[in-house]
Amino acid sequence: MIKGIHHVAVHVHDMDRMIRFYKDAFGFEVVGEPFSWQESEFIDRIVDVPNSAAKGAMLRCGTCYLEMFQYQAPAPTVTRALNPYDKGYTHFCVDATDIEYEVERLRGLGMSFGQPGPIDVGHVKSIYGRDPEGNLIEVQQTADHCDFRLDKLPPR
């Protein structure tokens, strides 16, 4: 039985800076010990990347885990941040109770947004922004009548 999504992973260029950003911006805290590997055939098999080297950390905020990696090897084949229309996992979304406040707070912490403010589509207000390294993050606020509110999830 699949219980749900455990974590989302993001590759960053400056792990210490990005851990500070995600802590200040969203309240993520590092859980457990940060980890690293180099010349590990065992880990290379797990990540399916020969001759890999990286450091990483698992972060938690509420019921969400975020795994952060900073690879030293191999060199990335894509160096630009992904766009919403690119193939693959392109963003994660945080749920806010006061989206206008959060967008301004996040701007002050280094996020950039292509729109001046959230867009209200009736059941949700939403805006996409980029963290200081260009990774895409959606900020949303669901309306009371929205079918996919976090507080409507049944307890497990």
pLDDT digits (tens, 9 = 90+) for 63-76: 889 999 999 999 98
The answer, yes or no, to whether residue 50 has pLDDT greater than 90, is yes
Q: How confident is the model at residue 135 (pLDDT cuts 50, 70, 90)?
A: very high
Q: Fold for 1-76, please state it.
A: 2,3-Dihydroxybiphenyl 1,2-Dioxygenase; domain 1 (3.10.180)
pTM: 0.81
pLDDT value of position 2: 58
Structurally, at CATH architecture level, domain 80-149 sits in: Roll (3.10)
Q: Tell me, yes or no, if the two domains 1-76 and 80-149 fold the same way.
A: yes
Half-sphere exposure of 20 (CA within 13 A, CB side): 7
pLDDT value of position 152: 77
pLDDT value of position 155: 66
Torsion over CA: 31, 150, 117, 11 (sign): positive
Q: Where are the domains of the chain?
A: 1-76, 80-149
Q: Mean pLDDT across the stretch 15-30?
A: 96
Q: Mean pLDDT across the stretch 111-136?
A: 93
What is the residue-wise DSSP string for 39-69? S-HHHHHHHT-TT-EEEEEEEEETTEEEEEE
Cα separation, 55 vs 10, in Å, equals 12
Cα separation, 110 vs 106, in Å, equals 6
Range with the largest mean pLDDT of 1-5, 23-27, 78-82: 23-27
- Secondary structure letter of residue 15 according to DSSP: H
The single residue listed with the structure tokens 């980890």 is 35
In terms of pLDDT, which residue wins out, 92 or 17?
Answer: 17
Cα angle vertex 26, ends 109, 22, to 5°?
Answer: 65
Q: Mean pLDDT across the stretch 21-40?
A: 94
98-118 pLDDT, tens digit each: 999 999 999 999 999 999 999
Q: Mean pLDDT across the stretch 56-62?
A: 92
Cα separation, 43 vs 29, in Å, equals 24
